[in-house]
Structure 1
């Protein structure tokens, strides 16, 4: 009887993703809460020593934060914390979202198989309404996550990877949430109501209503954010 030939067992690749996520989350908290002030340098080696990790996850976390605009990489100077957006820059950012997200919401509403998306959006609205809204990032992190996941779920619901890349490149949520540090989330009731209207329109398959609800939400976000800056 021939000896059974067994293929060699290959070890699974060990991913440092969890370490990178932890470093990313810590840096995000430190920047949003102002413990790492605008324009302050970010030394990869110093951060690695402080966090007790190698330089690789720190470098990857900084690259991810750079894509959101929270961190800047300057030639021959390394990484630095980016300044908070000015009122004009924040308005421009939300205007860019206004060009993208109403159309995305309409496209998501027209998808024939969207039950999973509808369930995800409903769960996100519930999580947003229940999330704490304290003054520091740790105390409104669940709110931030629910808000971000709601919008990204709609983009992902189009099943168009180019739209997903375009949305991710804006990095808009994290920029806006810098306004909440030290004062807490100030527009939760309006945001929850607006999210619910978007979710209902998508659930009904009404593309026009979904587009209009998303536009109304983003206009509201812009108005409220600019009021926060000028307060």
Structure 2
């Protein structure tokens, strides 16, 4: 049983990666037999991984045809960012009421960055961004909040990868937003920190929805072009 769980975890992690990076796109039909052949395992760990993926909302079961990768749309993006705002607001309040050492560390996270970003500084900035939001959530010390946030972030990562080739400008725009949040946290100004956090997430939501609309419209246009008969 221990071996089966270990294999299913490896399958799960690899399938998460493929779904997030788009290798397995939305609405892709999943065959446990085909995947078992790909991974060189039995169908049992594949099916266990399917149940894990369903629990975090990355795949769903459709009657008759089996399992498919879940789709997402602008409403999903709005709801995910709204939920993220609720969770992170709770985290900010806990962080400000926590240790001085942690607040000071967070307050200094975005020092030293200069615009424009090159590839190396963009990668470093994104690591700091991830560290910042993880620190906020972990400050709650609430395992259920942390678990829900992990699931929300998996969904958001899918959207981020889907539109990432268009989002460089948003990465640079967000630097000052993060600095305003961290300054308020370092100053123990709860109201300002929450207001700046919500403004930042609202901008994320707005940018993601617009980019998603652009990508979706472009995809539809490309499909129409393919369907136009050649005269």
1:103-122 aligned at under 5 Å gives the runs: 103-111=90-98, 113=99, 115-116=101-102, 119=105
Partner of 2:86 in structure 1?
99
1:69-218 aligned at under 5 Å gives the runs: 69-74=57-62, 77-83=65-71, 85-111=72-98, 113=99, 115-116=101-102, 119=105, 132=119, 147-171=129-153, 172-180=155-163, 183=166, 185-218=168-201
Distance 2:10 2:50 in 1: 12
Q: What displacement does 1:41 show?
A: 1.7
Encode CA deviations 1:141-182: one digit per residue, 9 max, x unaligned: x87765444323211112122322342343442243143255
Partner of 1:35 in structure 2?
23
Instruction: Indicate if the aligned counterparts of 2:31 and 2:67 stay in contact, CA closer than 8 A.
Output: yes
Distance 1:224 1:198 in 2: 19
Encode CA deviations 1:30-64: one digit per residue, 9 max, x unaligned: 33443323212222332232133455554454444
Partner of 1:51 in structure 2?
39
Q: What displacement does 1:105 show?
A: 1.3
Instruction: Indicate if the aligned counterparts of 2:61 and 2:68 stay in contact, CA closer than 8 A.
Output: yes
TM superposition score normalised by structure 2: 0.68
Encode CA deviations 1:161-204: one digit per residue, 9 max, x unaligned: 23223423434422431432554644111233323333333333
Paired residue secondary structure (2:173): helix
Paired residue secondary structure (1:80): strand
Q: CA RMSD in A?
A: 3.8
Instruction: Indicate if the aligned counterparts of 1:93 and 1:170 stay in contact, CA closer than 8 A.
Output: yes
Instruction: Indicate if the aligned counterparts of 1:148 and 1:173 stay in contact, CA closer than 8 A.
Output: no
Give aligned pairs, total: 209
Distance 2:146 2:17 in 1: 25
CA distance 1:28–1:115, change in 2 (3 Å): same
Show structure 2 runs of 5+ residues with no match: 215-231
Q: What displacement does 1:81 show?
A: 0.8
Q: What displacement does 1:219 show?
A: 0.6
Paired residue secondary structure (2:146): helix
Paired residue secondary structure (2:149): helix
Higher helix share goes to which structure? 2
Instruction: Indicate if the aligned counterparts of 2:92 and 2:194 stay in contact, CA closer than 8 A.
Output: yes
